[in-house]
Amino acid sequence: MSLFLTFEGPDGSGKSTQIQLTAQFLANLGYDVLTTREPGGTPIGDQIRTVLHNVANTAMCAPAEVLLYSASRAQLVHEVILPHLKNGGAVVCDRYADSTFAYQGYGRGLEAEMLHLITQFATQGLKPDLTIYLDLDPAQGLKRKQHANSAGAGEWNRMDRLELDFHQRVRAGYLEMAQTEPERWLVVDATASIETVNQTIRRRLEQYLIAPQ
């Protein structure tokens, strides 16, 4: 049985570490695991990512932003995710359409109905089986990321520069989405230790694999 798992969470929440650990866990269960990320994950998507995250692109309007994220997603679904799922594999994706609802919807204030239409078109209707949200106060997340960036690690992108209020709205949006669809979402306190966060994720995955929704 194929599995499509996505990770969401503010920058600096430890997503990359948890993705790696979870991919390893699924591989140990016998899955053919593919990890990927948004925006990007394909040669075309990576070019779109460069445009999206270029801090010089301050003139980018919100509709252009959402269409670029969606274009990258459409290519990723078509080229990478759907073929792997069709072969019975597991896909672990760092961000997916929920990022658009959170950042462009709750954050930028774009209409949810329009975002649903665009997302449906871009993804061919593909939704994750499970979505893990690593919850962290955005102030803390940005501080961690800024710190890593000044130490020469990670990327400081166009979205990171937005005001704290924006990131607070994004967080509230994630928590609301998780509440309205609890069977798909798992919210984890990202301030807990790496091992505790990972155990919580593994437990939920085991439950899902025994009795998929």
Q: Which of residues 85-144 bind ligand TMP (CB under 6 A)?
A: 95, 99-100, 103-104
Mask for 56-75, x = binds ligand TMP (CB under 6 A): -------------x------
To ligand TMP, the closest distance from the beta carbon of 38 in angstroms equals: 4
Q: What is the size of the binding site for ligand TMP (CB under 6 A)?
A: 11
DSSP E strands: which ranges in 96-197? Answer: 130-135, 185-189
Comparison of 31 and 69: residue with beta carbon closer to ligand TMP: 69
How many other CB atoms are there within 10 angstroms of residue 69's CB atom? 25
Rounded Cα distance between 50 and 153, Å, is 17
Q: Look at residues 165, 60, 53 and name the one whose alpha carbon lies nearest to residue 106.
A: 165
To ligand TMP, the closest distance from the beta carbon of 191 in angstroms equals: 18
To ligand TMP, the closest distance from the beta carbon of 64 in angstroms equals: 12
Rounded Cα distance between 133 and 185, Å, is 7
To ligand TMP, the closest distance from the beta carbon of 8 in angstroms equals: 9
Quick one: which H or E segment has residue 21? helix 15-28
Rounded Cα distance between 186 and 199, Å, is 12
Residue pair 97/118 in contact by the 8 Å Cβ criterion: no
Comparison of 21 and 122: residue with beta carbon closer to ligand TMP: 122
To ligand TMP, the closest distance from the beta carbon of 154 in angstroms equals: 7
Comparison of 100 and 198: residue with beta carbon closer to ligand TMP: 100
Comparison of 38 and 129: residue with beta carbon closer to ligand TMP: 38
Quick one: which H or E segment has residue 90? strand 90-94
Where do contacts with ligand TMP occur on this chain (CB under 6 A)? 11, 38-39, 69, 95, 99-100, 103-104, 157, 159
